[in-house]
Structures are given as structure tokens and as C-alpha cells.
Structure 1
Amino acid sequence: MATITDPQADRTEAAPLRFLKAVPMVVYTLVGLLVFWELAVRLGDVPSFILPTPTAIAMEFYDYGHRLFPNAMVTLFEVLLGFTLAVLIGVPLAVSIVYSKFMAKGVYPLIVASQTIPKVAIAPLLLTWFGYGMTPKIVIVILLAFFPIVINSVMGLKSAPDEMLHLARSMGASSWQTFWKFRLPQALPSIFAGLKLATALSVIGAVVAEFIGADKGLGYLIVIAGANFDVTRQFAAIICIALIGMSFFLVLERVERFAIPWRDKSDGHD
């Protein structure tokens, strides 16, 4: 005797499976790590002042969120402003290095050499010059972020094949048209690689600057919590920093996909 199957029931049964497949693999990995962390700390009876549990850190967000959120906004503002200024300085500087022999031979080597100076070493000088306000933090973010932007932009702008540039000129393209239609599209992948690297360095720069001298920001909270041996609060601030960095990176990836739509097609991505 033939059995009658209900298509609606099959779809209902398959819905949880489809949901599980739609969840990115990294989510399962993260949940697994958190569960392992929780169990290891509880079963190992590890003191909270050495390693708090994820649930304790989550409760810290609930109890101390009124302080974490405003200070996270301060750090986020420093990162965004410093990164934006680094882009506005770095990209035009890279263009001038590619098009000017003086900039390429007289300034570019100095930019490279300047990166051998640890930014932490000059941070006290910036505090002396600019005080403990926002300015020294922004300057440190710019100093850390603009170098990968310059380097990758220069490499990208120089990557355009000579044959392509000669063809553009032979067809009567002006210098501006050659740059806009040939050099820049060819350089965009390298430029965005530098920008994405600069996002991480911007966050690092802002937090390090707050470590050295600040009265607000996530770096400041970490220093104060460390002085009070409040490791749970330090972890909460660190997670906020990680969320800022990851969110910033993901936003930039979206911008990259919008600016370079042909790259996803060439890579076979949807």
C-alpha cells in the first residue's frame, strides 16, 4: 500500500536543517570555544581574578554597560577620525609619489625610514606638545594607519601594465583620464588591502594612546580596571575593542565589494 507524504510536513522538518546550514561555520566555532572556556574555568575552579567565565563577562556588560558604552564611543570616534584623516593624507601622498620623481626619491624613503621609530616612543612627546585631549590620540592613529595606506596605494598605482598606459595615451587619453580609467581601477584592490590593514592599526593606535595618557576611552578603562585587579572588566573592554575592529573591517569589506564589483565575479563569489 502506497504511503502519502505531506510536502508541507517535509518543508517544516527541513526548516531547522536549512537554518543550521545557513549559520556561518565561524559561529559554531565561537560557541564551541565559549562553552569550552566556561567549562574549563568552572571545572578547574580558576579564580575570577585570573580568568573570568564568559557568563561573568556577559554580566559585566549588563552591570557596567552605562560606562562601557560611552567610553567605547570615545575610542570609536578616535579610530574613525584618525583613519579618515590617514586616508585623506595617505592616498593623495601615494599619487604624488607615483607621479613625482622628487616625492618618489626625496620623500618616500623618509616615510619608509620613519616607520622604524616605535609610535609608543613618541607618544609621550605628543602628550607634551598637545596635552591629554583628543589631539595626541588622533595623531598616533594617523601615524600608525597611513603607512600601509601609502605603501599599498603606491604598489597598486604602479601595477598598471605599461602596455595599458601606452594604449590609453595612443588613443588620446589625458593624464587625468589615464589615472581615473586605468591606473585607479587597477590599483583599487591594493588600496583596499592597505585600508583594511589600516583599520586594525587604527584601533591599536587609539587604545595604545589611551594607555599612555587619557581620562576616557576603552584603553583608559582597561588601565583603571587593571589597577583595581578587575580582570572581568578588562575582558569586557577588550571585547568592545574587538567588536569595534571587526565591525570596522566588515564595513570596509562591504565598501570594497561596492567599489570593485568585478572582483567578486572574477573570484567566482556570489
Structure 2
Amino acid sequence: MKKSFDQFLNTKAASIILPAATIILSIVLWQVGVRLFNVPRFILPAPTEIIAAMNQWSQVIMRHSLITVGSTVLAFTLALVGGVLLGSIIGSSRLAYLSLYPLLVGFNTIPKVALVPLLAIWFGLGLIPAVITAFLLAFFPIAVNVAVGLETVETEMRDVLRSLGASAWEIFIKVGLPHSMPYLFASLKVSISSAFVGSVISETVASNGGLGYLIVSASSSFDVPLAFAGLIALGIMGILLYTFFAALERYVLAWRQ
């Protein structure tokens, strides 16, 4: 019996059934707990009340979701391009590593939420502060992972290619870039979540649109079911984007399987 169960855990069906069962069980316990202890809706609404709010405010949630997705995807795209370029420079050059990497680490230690008020002063409310905040959170993991991937290429392999007449660019394209791809895709799944966090942080402080703005507005009016509906929308979008990059990783890096 245990052997059969272990075999089931290794199947694709288990990766779908078990999370779904966990979610359903959690929702049932949540619903029963709220009703049993008579928790006020402005403290913790029942799942049925959140679903009702999602139906009632579906168009509003969709409009704000598109704003958040737009700023997140734009920031993530810029972070991907910039992170790959800077990571390639740092990973390929000892001079660049010694000069730029400490500055990159130091800047990353600054809490990005502390920059949002300044961004609001410089650029006003709206899209630009959200994109910049999301970019700053998503950029660092990509740059660092690409740099690590290039730096860990075996020295012997570089020496062999140089002895065969390969240029630095050819070594980067044929060895360095493929070697860094697993590191890059590992960072993408982290960065897309960080980009969402950055967008929402900025929207709660320096925006008049987006799910972060919607959650703050709903909370200020004690419409907690609507705030939870915004949180669920954020979770769904984050899962979808994470799943997309996980599937893309399995496709691009099929040779690792």
C-alpha cells in the first residue's frame, strides 16, 4: 500500500490532485471556522462573501488587474534585459566583478518601499513609480544568477576553446550562455514574484490604480471581502506567471531532464 502511494506521489496527477484537495480543505475549514465562531466580516470574511464580492466587483477587479499586470510585465521585461546584460558583463570580466558587484549588492540591501515616496515626488503618481519599483526588485536576482552561471564555467573548458582559436565572444555564446541558462531560469521564477511585489507596494503608496490601490481603498472603507478578492486576484496572476516560466524552463532546458 505504501509503495503504491509513493508511486502515486511521483505521478503528474498527484501534482494536480493534492494541491487542489489542500485548497478545497482549507476553504471548507475557513468557511466553517468563520461561521462557527461568528467572526465579523470586516475582520475575516467567509469564502462565500469573498466570492460574492468578486462577482459583484468583477469588472473593477479586472480593470485594476490589467494595470498591475501591465506594470509588472513591463518592469520584468526591462529587468530581464538589463539583468542579463549586467550579469554577463560581471560574470565575464574580473574587473567588472570587482567594480560593480559590491555596488549591486549594496543597492539591493536598500528596502525598496523606502524609495517609493521619492519616486512619487520625482515622477508623480501612476505607472512609472510602479514600474521602477518592480524593476528594482526583479533586476538583482537575474543579474546575480547570470553572473554566477558564467563565473562557474570550468576554467579548463575555457582554456581548451582558447587553444582551438575561439574568441571571447564565441566562448560566451557556445559555453557561457548555455551554462548560465539553468541559473537564469531559476532567477526568472523568483523575479516575476518580486516584480509583482514591487508593483503592489508602489500601488499602495503612489498610484491611483492597480490591485494594490484597490486593496488599500477597500480596506480603508472596511470592505474586507473586496480586499480579499484583490489578494486572490494577485495570487492567481502570480501562479499563472510562475507556471508559465516553469513550463518554459522545462521546454528550453529539456536536455537537463
1:145 aligns with 2:141: no
1:19-58 → structure 2 map (5 Å cutoff):
23-58=16-51
Counterpart CA distance in 1 for 2:106 and 2:14 is 49
1:114 aligns with 2:107: yes
1:89 aligns with 2:82: yes
Q: Quote the residue 1:164 is aligned against.
A: 157
Segments of 5+ residues of structure 2 without an aligned counterpart are 1-12
Q: Quote the residue 1:126 is aligned against.
A: 119
Counterpart CA distance in 2 for 1:162 and 1:117 is 35
Gap change, CA 1:195 and 1:71, over 3 Å in 2 = same
For 1:68-106, what per-residue CA distance to the aligned partner results, in whole angstroms no more than 9, with x for missing partners? 001000000011000000111111001111223332122
Counterpart CA distance in 1 for 2:14 and 2:198 is 38
**Off by >3 Å, runs of 4+ in structure 1:** 20-23
CA shift, 1:22, in A, is 8.4
CA shift, 1:239, in A, is 0.5
Q: Quote the residue 1:185 is aligned against.
A: 178
- Rg larger for: 1
Gap change, CA 1:56 and 1:257, over 3 Å in 2 = same
Q: Which one of the candidate residues 240, 249, 252 is aligned to 1:247?
A: 240
Gap change, CA 1:30 and 1:83, over 3 Å in 2 = same
Gap change, CA 1:145 and 1:23, over 3 Å in 2 = closer
Counterpart CA distance in 1 for 2:207 and 2:128 is 11
Q: Quote the residue 2:249 is aligned against.
A: 256
Q: Quote the residue 2:10 is aligned against.
A: none
2:201 is aligned with what amino acid? V
| Residues matched between the structures, number | 245
Counterpart CA distance in 1 for 2:74 and 2:42 is 35
RMSD: 1.4
